[in-house]
Amino acid sequence: MTDTGAVLGVDFGTSNSAAGTVRDGAARLIPLEAGGETLPTAVFFDVETQKMLIGTAAGEALLAGDEGRYMRALKSLLGAPLMREKRMLLGERLDFIDIVARFLAQLKEAAEAATGLRFDRALSGRPVRFHGDDARNAQAEIDLRDAYLRAGFKEVRFMFEPEAAALANRDMLAAGDLGLVVDIGGGTSDFTVFRSDDNGIDILASHGVRVGGTDFDRKVSLDFVMPLLGRGSDIRHAFGGDTHAAPATIFNDLATWQKIPFLYAPDSRRLARDLAQYAVEPARLARLVAVLEDELGHDIAFAVERGKIAANTGRVGLIDLGVVERGMDVTVAAAQIGAALDDLAQEIARAALRTVTDAGIAPNGITHLVFVGGSSLMGVVEETLCPQFPGAAVHRGSALTAIADGLALGAEAAFVLSEDGGQPPSP
């Protein structure tokens, strides 16, 4: 028998990643960086050291203002044609699959250093739907698989993320109970209906939508911050006295984590300068120009995310925009954020209901709601979703690690069938 090494369970998330393996029948998460079981899914191409930093170090380099290129929410680009477009980074021509691959290669190396094991195979989580568009959804898994292979894994299998969370929470239910996993992450919301029996759990249905915490950030940014940079304000025509509203795309992109790096290209900067020149309120558009020139898009996105979480935790949240202009900030009340995010929360609740319908179960037949994922902590999500399932007790799994736990638990089994010549479990 050839030595195939151990299997690593990997939760490659939009915002955070984690990895684990099984020891003595229990899931063990592997510390991938000092001080934590999860690792921000972020990279920084550092011009000075010519190295690609990942995780917390990447965020610190951005914050310190080091020269380089920061990227976050790379998972949201999977399946898009630009994943395979090459661009120059630190003197190399790389596509986005290479960037994800290098992130995964560093994750693999850290996991091997921490455990002394060799990981040739990975069981990776994947959202039930990366995208609403079918072709792009299928391409996203192909892209992610390529990234694992380029990272040095010899084989990779996939498991739906909410199914992994169901596995991690299998002991929570008594035989006959019906659970609904609600996993609201950074990029997607995923649902699994499962029944507990004496032998473990039975997956009855899974479904997902492309809505997550980064969409919440985007909406908060568009509603409360982008108007200060000129969103919706009037631009004079170069000739004649007419005006039109500033084009929406540049603000939409600036409010979208994965699109921010593209705005630092010369054509976007030129567009911003043109808008400022003809703006009815030039001071606002001048801020947009400065943000693109000084590459402050991610700083704003982090300020928005912090404000969102603060408003969710307390009654008001402060979005500190001091990096844009000294002393500038926006205060948003929890109720305002709830109202702004209502449509997104409704979309999430509809997808949850659909999963239960797909399983052939009436909503009041669900006995347990299991909330996981960072954005499941958003009050507006719970308030919108819970009334749909009046018979369910609410259970909170470990928000940021349940999926990696489940992938660790399922890792070895995912490869057993295929070694016997049978079909691997595939979503």
Ligand X SMILES: Nc1ncnc2c1ncn2[C@@H]1O[C@H](COP(=O)(O)OP(=O)(O)OP(=O)(O)O)[C@@H](O)[C@H]1O
- Per CB under 6 A, the segment of 149-157, 181-189, 327-335, 386-394 that binds ligand X is 181-189
Name the residue nearer to ligand X (CB basis): 182 or 276.
182
Judged by CB under 5 A, does residue 13 bind Mg ion?
yes
Shortest approach of ligand X to residue 217 CB, angstroms? 6
> Under rule CB under 6 A, how many of the chain's residues touch ligand X?
23
CA distance 247 to 233: 9
CA distance 403 to 396: 13
Q: Which of 169, 233, 355, 375 binds ligand X (CB under 6 A)?
A: 375
Q: Which of 20, 162, 179, 187 binds ligand X (CB under 6 A)?
A: 187
CA distance 299 to 316: 20
Judged by CB under 6 A, does residue 400 bind ligand X?
yes
Judged by CB under 6 A, does residue 373 bind ligand X?
yes
317 makes contact, choosing from Mg ion, ligand X, none, with CB < 5 to 8 Å by partner type, with none
The DSSP code sequence of 83-149 is GG--EEETTEEE-HHHHHHHHHHHHHHHHHHHHS--EEEEEEEE-S-S-SSHHHHHHHHHHHHHHHH
Q: Which of 21, 124, 139, 214 binds ligand X (CB under 6 A)?
A: 214
Name the residue nearer to ligand X (CB basis): 111 or 402.
402
Name the residue nearer to ligand X (CB basis): 7 or 211.
211
For residue 171 the two structure tokens come to: 């002991």
> Under rule CB under 5 A, how many of the chain's residues touch Mg ion?
2
Provide the CA 44 distance to its chain's centre, in angstroms.
Answer: 17
Q: How far is CA 171 from CA 10, 167, 199, 349, in A?
A: 22, 8, 11, 25
Q: Give the phi and the psi of residue 302 in degrees, each rounded to 5.
A: -65, -40
Q: Which residues contact 319 (CB under 8 A, 6 or more apart)?
A: 220, 224, 225, 303, 304, 306, 307, 329, 330, 331, 332
Judged by CB under 5 A, does residue 397 bind Mg ion?
no
Judged by CB under 6 A, does residue 75 bind ligand X?
yes
Shortest approach of Mg ion to residue 379 CB, angstroms? 19
Name the residue nearer to ligand X (CB basis): 272 or 400.
400
**Cα dihedral 225→228→232→236 (10° resolution):** -160
Give me the count of residues in the chain.
427
Shortest approach of Mg ion to residue 245 CB, angstroms? 36
75 makes contact, choosing from Mg ion, ligand X, none, with CB < 5 to 8 Å by partner type, with ligand X
Residues 89-148 that bind ligand X (CB under 6 A): none
Judged by CB under 5 A, does residue 212 bind Mg ion?
no
Shortest approach of ligand X to residue 184 CB, angstroms? 7
Half-sphere exposure of 374 (CA within 13 A, CB side): 22
Name the residue nearer to ligand X (CB basis): 76 or 233.
76
- 116 conformational bin, left if phi > 0, alpha if psi -120 to 50, beta if neither: left
Residues 308-347 that bind ligand X (CB under 6 A): 309, 312
How many Å from the N-terminal Cα to the C-terminal Cα in the chain? Answer: 28
Q: Which of 377, 396, 412, 427 binds ligand X (CB under 6 A)?
A: 377
Strands (E) located in 288-367: 316-320, 329-333
Q: Which of 305, 320, 382, 405 binds ligand X (CB under 6 A)?
A: 305
Q: Which of 162, 317, 374, 406 binds ligand X (CB under 6 A)?
A: 374
CA distance 257 to 75: 11
Give the orientation angle of helix 282-293 with respect to helix 266-278, to 10 degrees: 160
CA distance 139 to 330: 39
Name the residue nearer to Mg ion (CB basis): 185 or 425.
185
Residues 218-277 that bind ligand X (CB under 6 A): none
Judged by CB under 6 A, does residue 13 bind ligand X?
yes
For residue 320 the two structure tokens come to: 């500190």
Judged by CB under 6 A, does residue 29 bind ligand X?
no
Burial environment of residue 66 by CB neighbours within 10 A (0 to 12, 13 to 18, 19 or more): middle
Name the residue nearer to Mg ion (CB basis): 254 or 372.
372
Residues 148-207 that bind Mg ion (CB under 5 A): 185
Q: Which of 20, 186, 307, 317 binds ligand X (CB under 6 A)?
A: 186
For residue 354 the two structure tokens come to: 């659909």
Judged by CB under 6 A, does residue 213 bind ligand X?
yes
Q: Rule CB under 5 A: which residues touch Mg ion? A: 13, 185
Q: Which residues bind ligand X (CB under 6 A)?
A: 13-16, 41, 75, 161, 185-188, 212-214, 305, 309, 312, 373-375, 377-378, 400
